[in-house]
Amino acid sequence: MGDYVQVVTTTDSEEAAAALARGIVESRTGACVQVVPIRSFYRWDGAVQDDPEWQLQVKTPAGRLDALVAHIQEHHGYDVPEIIATPITGGGDAYLRWLDDATRV
């Protein structure tokens, strides 16, 4: 087993989140994506925004991170999509092996 990451990004609609999540899994750039409705506050275009968003939490081996980032950038609707990778420092051995298997190309 190698190193693993969880990548977070957000979209502006449930449909966009589902399409992005499905594409990530189909392309094997991520093994699993959870989609969670959230409320985001952020500064954009000189004003504080308050918007509903859908957060995608993607689990993948660290070796697939560059491909995942490229996939998100290519298929995302935002000008500047949030893409944050956090190391996974532990977990169930069987689950982590599954991450490898599900993203093997």
The stretch 55-79 carries a mean pLDDT of 97
pLDDT in tens, 9-45: 999 999 999 999 999 999 999 999 999 999 999 999 9
Alpha-carbon distance 6 to 66, whole Å? 13
**pLDDT confidence tier of residue 86, bands split at 50, 70 and 90:** very high
**pLDDT confidence tier of residue 2, bands split at 50, 70 and 90:** low
pLDDT in tens, 69-83: 999 999 999 999 999
- CB–CB of 23/71 below 8 Å? yes
- CB–CB of 5/72 below 8 Å? no
pTM above 0.75, yes or no: yes
**pLDDT confidence tier of residue 68, bands split at 50, 70 and 90:** very high
